[in-house]
Amino acid sequence: MTISNLIIPLMVLFIIIYGIKKKVNIYDEFLTGSTESFGMILKIFPCLLAMILGINIFLKSGLLNIITNILEPFFDLIKIPIQVFPMMIMRPISGTSSLAILNNLFETFGPDSIIGILGSIIQGSTDTTFYVITLYFGSIGIKKIRYALWAGLFADLIGITAAIIITNILF
């Protein structure tokens, strides 16, 4: 058994021991926290549902394939594999979709290929900006996100650019 399999049970055990030491009724606190979470789930659910609906419409419409076909000559010109473009687009929107795309890249080209390495670096150096804004801002009722979206997308652009540069330099 590896240490990674023990981390969560050890954390739970630590919390229980700490609660007993501090004379906290752990079970009642757990129930209170669980009850409070339902209100938060009800606040978050409409935001998540809208985001999931938007992602599915975008993916099912074929718009991503059209954009990819239009940009293919440009990507060939600057020597970036067009196969990672769908991941570049989907990563700020949905972590699950970008992981599915990365898995597809691994199956098609292999994890040790330039495309697999570039996809991996993009996955690790960018964030799910729209998901984060939808979930966190929506859960506390913020309607005006000000510069958070632009700052997040700029950070994603820098992450993608850095991934391309690092991949070209090291591999």
Predicted pLDDT at 18: 92
- Which amino acid is present at 123? Q
Predicted pLDDT at 33: 87
Give me the phi and psi of 24, to 5 degrees please: -105, 135
Mean pLDDT of the chain: 88
State how far the alpha carbon of 52 is from the alpha carbons of 25, 45, 145, in Å. 39, 10, 19
Most confident of 4-13, 126-135, 151-160: 151-160
Write down the pTM of the prediction: 0.70
Q: Is the pLDDT of residue 139 over 90?
A: no
Predicted pLDDT at 123: 94
> Per-residue pLDDT averaged across 85-102, rounded?
89
Choice among 78-82, 95-99, 161-165 with the minimum mean pLDDT: 95-99
CA–CA separation, 27 vs 149, rounded Å? 40
Q: Is the pLDDT of residue 1 over 70?
A: no
Helix (H, G, I), strand (E, B) or coil at 103: helix
Q: Which two tokens stand for residue 135?
A: 């979930």
> Per-residue pLDDT averaged across 40-69, rounded?
83
Pick the closest to residue 169 from 124, 114, 120, 127 (CA basis).
114
Q: Is the pLDDT of residue 164 over 90?
A: yes
